[in-house]
Chain A
Amino acid sequence: MQQLLKPTHRIRDPIYGYIWLTDSELNIIDTPIFQRLRRIGQLALTKYVYPTAEHSRFVHSLGVLQAATNIFEEVLRFNPELREDSEDSLRQNLQLLRYAALLHDVGHMPFSHAAERFFLGKDLTHEDIGRYLIMYDPEIADEIQKHNILPNSVANLLKGKQTPSLAILKKFISDEFDADRADFLLRDSYFCGVKYGEYDYIRYAGSFRLVNGEDGGRNFAIEKGNLHAVESFLLARYHYYLQVPFHRTRRGYDIVLERYFQDLQERESLPNAGLSIEDFQLEIDTNVFQFFDDYTIFEQIKKDMANGNPWAKILMRQDRLHPIFDTEKDTDNNENNFIDLQEDLDNAGLKKNEDYFTFEKKVGVHKILEKSDEMGESVYPVVDKAEGNKQVGTILDHSSLLESTQKRQTHLRRIYVTTSSRTKVKEVLRLFHQRIAAREQRRRGGTQ
C-alpha cells in the first residue's frame, strides 16, 4: 500500500496502531457529511450495558479502510501473478476499495438500525442513503472523480450492480468474510472490554486467495492451512452477536428505542433528517442531514422525558424493561412456553408493545449453507498451497466444525415487561411457573 498509494497522513488507532491515509481520503474525512459519523455511535445503547462502548461509526469506518487494505495486500502477497497487472490498475483498484471501505457506513441513521424503518420506510436502507451521498454530495463525488474513479463504481460496491471485473473487490468489504466484520469484531470487543469477538486477525487477513475458475473467471477462495483462523473468526462472530448486539439488556433498550420512534412517528414529531422519499426516488438535503445525528435524537428524548414520556424515561436510563422470559435453545418446549406466557399476559389484560414486548431471533455460527447456489453447492472453495493453490473442495468439505454447526441455530426468545406492569405480571408468572412445574412432574411421572 505504501508503494501503491503513498499515503502521507497517519492516525493513531488502538486496533491497528496507525491507519495511513492519502490526501484525498483525508479530504473526504474532513467533509461535514463524513464528520457526522463522529456523532453516530457504533453500538447504539450498548453503552448502557458495557459503559466504555462509546466509539463511533467514524472510527469504525477508518478501521474498515485499514482492514480492507490489509486483506488486499495479503491477497497480492500470496497471489504473485496478480502483481503482474499494471501498477496503475492495482493502484486504481486499491483506491476504489479504500473509498468504498471508508464510506460504507456514511448513510447510517442515528442509533443505526433501530431508526431505519422510521426514517427510511420499508424499501430503503442506510446503504441507499450512502449510495446517494457518494454519488451526489459534491465534496465527496468530486474528490473521488479527481482520481479518475466514477463515484457510481464506489457506490455500487456498497449496493447495486458491480461489473464482474470489479465484483471481486466487493468481497473485501461485503461478504461472509469481509473487512467490515473483521474490524467491528475487534473494535467492538476492545471498546466493550469483552473477549467475545477476538480472533487471530493477522492470520485471518492472510487466509484468502484469488483463484481462476475452470473457465478463467476469478473466485475468492480460502487457503486450506488457514481454516482454523476462519473457523475462529466465525465462532468469535457468533459469541459476539450473542454477547453484544443481542445481549439481553441491550436488546431491551433497542426495543424501547423502536417503541419511542413509533411514538414520535404517531405524533408526527420525528426530527427532520433532510430526507424526502417519493415513488422510491430519494432526495437528501445535505445541509440538514449533516446535523442529523445521535445528539438530535437525544435532544428530543430529553424534551419528551420532561413531558412524562415513559419511553424517553427509559432511554435516559431512569427506568428499564424487565426480562421475564429468556431461552436460547430451539426446542418445542421453549416455543410452547414462549407462546403460552404471551397468552397468559394477554389474558391478564396486558397489552403487547405497551405493557410487554417480545424479541425473537435465530443466530447461527455461519450462513455458508444458505449461500449455496443454483447447483446446490457451497460457494466457498478451499485451495491447497501444497497442490499449487488447486481447488480441493469447499469450506464445508474441509471443516468438521462448520459442517456440524451448519443447521444448528440458537433461537433467542425473550419477553420483557415494563416497570408499571410488574405487579400484574408477578401473579401471571407465579401461575405460569406452577403450570410448568406440574407439567414437568407429570412428564417425569410418565417416564418412571
Chain B
Amino acid sequence: MSTEYTKSIFRHVLAWLKNNNKPTSKIAMQKTLFYLQEKGTPLRLDFEPYSYGPFSRQIMETATELQKAGVILVGKTEYTPALEDADPLSETECRKIDAHLERFSALHGDDFSFGTLELYGTVLYCIQALKEIGGEADTDSVLQEVRAWKGSKFPEQAITSAYKDLSADLSS
C-alpha cells in the first residue's frame, strides 16, 4: 500500500508532464520519480535494475490504487490523468517539486523519449548504487556498470555525457 504522500507526488508529476506537453508514459513516471527520490523527496520507493533502467514495482501498485480511485487511467505503456482536480500538494511543496522537475527536464534537453529516459535513469542508478555500496562512482566505473547492464545499447559518448550532467546535478 503506497503512502498518501507518494500518491500525491505521483498525481502532481503526472499533471506536470501533461501540462508541459511531455509524454505521460510509464517510463517517464518511473524515471522522473526515481530522480525525485534521489534528490531527497521521501517517496520510500524501492528501485531495482530492470529491462529499461531502474524500475519500482511500487509505482505500478500506486498507479493501480489511483486507477481504482478513479483518479488516473492506466494504459499499456502510459498513464492518463482522469480528473482535473486540485493539486494534492501544498504550494510550498509544489514549488520544491517543480524546481526538481524543471531541472530534470533541462538535464536531458527536455527530451522525454524512451531511449533518453532509459539512459539517464540507468546512469543515475549506477552512480547511486556505486556510492551506496561504498565504491567509486567515477566515469570508468559507471561506464563499466552501464555496460554490464545494457551491453552495447548506448554509445560511450552518450553514457559519459549523461554521467557528467548527472554528477554535476547531484553535487549542486
With A152-B134, A163-B129, A212-B151 as given contacts, are A374 and B48 in contact (CB-CB < 8 Å)? Answer: no
Would B44 and A123 count as touching, CB distance under 8 A? yes
Total B residues in contact with A, Cβ cutoff 8 Å: 40
With A216-B151, A280-B42, A373-B52 as given contacts, are A163 and B135 in contact (CB-CB < 8 Å)? Answer: yes
CA distance A165 to B129 in the complex (A): 11
User: Which listed residue, B57, B129, B146, touches A161 by the CB 8 Å rule?
Assistant: B129
CA distance A152 to B150 in the complex (A): 23
Would A152 and B132 count as touching, CB distance under 8 A? yes
Would B132 and A164 count as touching, CB distance under 8 A? no
Which of B25-33, B65-73, B88-96 binds A?
A: B25-33
Would B147 and A216 count as touching, CB distance under 8 A? yes
A375 cross-chain contacts in B, Cβ below 8 A: 51-52, 77
CA distance A376 to B146 in the complex (A): 23
A-B contact pairs, 13 of them (CB 8 A): A160-B132, A162-B49, A163-B135, A164-B126, A170-B48, A215-B150, A215-B152, A216-B147, A216-B150, A219-B51, A370-B60, A373-B52, A374-B51
Interface residues in B1-48 by Cβ distance below 8 A to A read 3, 25-27, 30, 42, 44, 46-48
> Which of A163, A373, A374 has most B Cβ within 10 Å?
A374
Q: Which residue of B lies closest to A174 (CB)?
A: B48
* Nearest-Cβ distance from residue B35 to partner chain A, whole angstroms: 14
A163 cross-chain contacts in B, Cβ below 8 A: 126, 129-130, 133, 135, 145, 148
CA distance A164 to B125 in the complex (A): 9
CA distance A152 to B135 in the complex (A): 10
* In the complex, A213 has a CB within 8 A of chain B: yes
A contact patch SS: loop
A159 cross-chain contacts in B, Cβ below 8 A: 46
Total A residues in contact with B, Cβ cutoff 8 Å: 34
Q: Which residues of A are at the interface with B, using a C-beta cutoff of 8 A?
A: 122-123, 150, 152-153, 156, 159-167, 170, 212-219, 280, 370-377, 379
CA distance A170 to B26 in the complex (A): 24
CA distance A159 to B133 in the complex (A): 11
Would B152 and A162 count as touching, CB distance under 8 A? no
* Nearest-Cβ distance from residue B153 to partner chain A, whole angstroms: 4
Q: Which residue of A lies closest to B149 (CB)?
A: A164
* Nearest-Cβ distance from residue B20 to partner chain A, whole angstroms: 20
Would B55 and A374 count as touching, CB distance under 8 A? yes
Q: Which residue of B lies closest to A371 (CB)?
A: B57
* Nearest-Cβ distance from residue A296 to partner chain B, whole angstroms: 28
A212 cross-chain contacts in B, Cβ below 8 A: 151
* Nearest-Cβ distance from residue B163 to partner chain A, whole angstroms: 14
With A212-B151, A216-B152 as given contacts, are A164 and B49 in contact (CB-CB < 8 Å)? Answer: yes
Would B146 and A379 count as touching, CB distance under 8 A? no
A215 cross-chain contacts in B, Cβ below 8 A: 150-153
A371 cross-chain contacts in B, Cβ below 8 A: 57
CA distance A219 to B151 in the complex (A): 11
B152 cross-chain contacts in A, Cβ below 8 A: 215-216
A218 cross-chain contacts in B, Cβ below 8 A: 148
Would B145 and A165 count as touching, CB distance under 8 A? yes
> Which of A156, A170, A216 has most B Cβ within 10 Å?
A216
A374 cross-chain contacts in B, Cβ below 8 A: 25-27, 30, 51-52, 55, 77, 114
B135 cross-chain contacts in A, Cβ below 8 A: 150, 163
* In the complex, B128 has a CB within 8 A of chain A: yes
CA distance A164 to B61 in the complex (A): 24
